[in-house]
Amino acid sequence: AQSVTQLGSHVSVSEGALVLLRCNYSSSVPPYLFWYVQYPNQGLQLLLKYTSAATLVKGINGFEAEFKKSETSFHLTKPSAHMSDAAEYFCAATYFGNEKLTFGTGTRLTIIP
């Protein structure tokens, strides 16, 4: 079955440091890929998505992600972390034209002052 893998359930970075959250997908046919953020007691908010146009995708709040087919990866980055970035981040995919999202297990990002 198709899956999404997020390496690292918890990531801590210092304020102002680079944020790197990892995501890998499992199929030989590239899916559509999404990064969502979830703040405590809230629903999910879309940060950015890859739909086979540009491989470098820019999203909201200064985040971006690069699709690399050779590595089956879609890692999320932000050059300089801010305290407000503390949240849980989910990578997700839709496979083979299906509408349902397949989620990774999530990465909780902590920002150290």
Partner 1 sequence: GAGVSQSPSNKVTEKGKDVELRCDPISGHTALYWYRQSLGQGLEFLIYFQGNSAPDKSGLPSDRFSAERTGGSVSTLTIQRTQQEDSAVYLCASSQTKTGGGKNEQFFGPGTRLTVL
Q: How far is residue 103's CA from residue 50's CA, in Å, rounded to a whole number?
A: 15
Nearer to partner 1 by C-beta: 34 or 73? 34
Report the nearest approach of partner 1 to the CB of residue 113 (Å): 28
The SS3 of residue 69 is helix
Burial pattern 16-26, b for ≥16 Cβ within 10 A else e, equals eeebebbbbbe
Report the nearest approach of partner 1 to the CB of residue 17 (Å): 27
Binding site for partner 1 (CB under 8 A): 31-32, 34, 36, 41-46, 49, 51, 90, 92, 94-106
Report the nearest approach of partner 1 to the CB of residue 57 (Å): 12
Q: How far is residue 87's CA from residue 62's CA, in Å, rounded to a whole number?
A: 15
Report the nearest approach of partner 1 to the CB of residue 91 (Å): 11
Give the CA angle between residues 30, 65, 36 to the nearest 5°.
85
Nearer to partner 1 by C-beta: 31 or 81? 31
Nearer to partner 1 by C-beta: 17 or 72? 72
Nearer to partner 1 by C-beta: 83 or 99? 99
What distance lies between CA 19 and its chain's CA centroid?
Answer: 11
